[in-house]
Amino acid sequence: MQNFLTIDYLEHGNEIQHNVFHLLRNHQILEKLDTYKPIVVGTIPIEINIENSDIDIIGETSNFENATNHLTENFSHYFEFKINQLINNNEICLTCNFRIDTFEIEIYLENKIPTEQNAYRHMLIEAKLLEKFDEPFKNKIIELKKNGYKTEPAFAKVLELKGNPYLALLEYEVD
């Protein structure tokens, strides 16, 4: 299985991954987020991104006021910058969005180690499923995404999982 804790694999991946690698490096995005232990997650690392997929980066913070100031200081000069504090699963979290070139970047910070966050856990399960099943499985996921499905609901539909797709995917046993 791919090591997703660094972005080295992106440099030698497909064209989008290669472009994302260079964008993140050239703008020192992860270096500016180093204090939050950032990890790139989502569809781009596992090659199921579609045309408007964003670059998702998760991280950890317990001080949302300082994080807001830090993100504003480092990224507010980018196009379409916005920052929001919200409650997700009864936990405070912070999202920061902005655009560089043709890519939207979303930074998601919560008071949890990034490798324990659902976005990372989902991605690992999805990566295992993509390894386990054939190309038509991957193509079904991508087609559902093109038709408006979010990633986890697309996997849940193809796997015929019942209930909340986000929870069902976390409970799915990949052999």
In the predicted model, is pLDDT for residue 175 greater than 80?
no
What pLDDT does residue 1 have?
75
What digits encode the pLDDT tens for the residues 67-124?
999 999 999 999 999 999 999 878 899 999 999 999 999 999 999 999 999 999 999 9
3-class DSSP state of 71:
helix
In the predicted model, is pLDDT for residue 152 greater than 80?
yes
What pLDDT does residue 9 have?
95
What pLDDT does residue 90 have?
84
Identity of the residue numbered 160: E
The torsion angles phi and psi of 17, rounded to 5 degrees, stand at: -60, -45
Domain range summary for the chain, segments of one domain joined by +? 8-171
Name the residue with tokens 């990633």. 151
What pLDDT does residue 146 have?
96
Superfamily of domain 8-171: Beta Polymerase, domain 2 (3.30.460.10)
